[in-house]
Amino acid sequence: MTREIVQYPDARLQTPCAPVADVTEVADLIRDMFATMYEAPGRGLAAPQVGVLKRVFVMDAGWKEGAKTPKTCINPEIIAASGRVTGPEGCLSAPGVLAQIEQHAEITLAYTDAAGLRQKETLSGFEAICAQHELDHLDGKMHFDRLTAKARQDLIADYEARK
């Protein structure tokens, strides 16, 4: 089932999320998040974007270009990062708000998958950017929170004027 996507400035998008104690507690949530993400259509979705303050996100960085490669990340953490890259980022929780955001070019992400197994994976390119974007949501941050105060203020003003 799909869920409603929470829109900025909802306070849940600015609240750090609690760790998941047992993957079984988020099994239904994960299924619903994938359905919601694909329908939106997006490439990543974090639990607070559907109103659940748990440390889980789903992503499929390449599905729009080819085969689906879904990834579930529970209690994710970046354990290594290198390089920097700047590019456009948007967000399902702030439609139409695109910003040039600087992220790490490559990360090593540790997370628990949907089966409850701990994983460690090195991500690069759009997959690394997507994971960092979703991880920011788990920390209560939006993509434009990475901008200067003035650029952030201008983007938010433009977004609110279009609502």
Digit-coded pLDDT (tens) for 113-137: 999 999 999 999 999 999 999 999 9
Alpha carbon of 100 to those of 15, 29, 86, 92, 132: distances in Å?
23, 30, 6, 16, 14
83: region left, alpha or beta (phi > 0 left; psi from -120 to 50 alpha):
left
Place domain 11-162 in its CATH homologous superfamily. Peptide deformylase (3.90.45.10)
Neighbours of 22 (CB within 10 A): 9
pTM for this prediction = 0.95
Catalytic positions, please? 134
pLDDT band at residue 105, thresholds of 50, 70 and 90?
very high
Alpha carbon of 91 to those of 19, 24, 53, 159: distances in Å?
23, 28, 18, 12
- Rounded CA gap, 141 and 12, in Å? 10
- For the chain, what are the domain ranges? 11-162
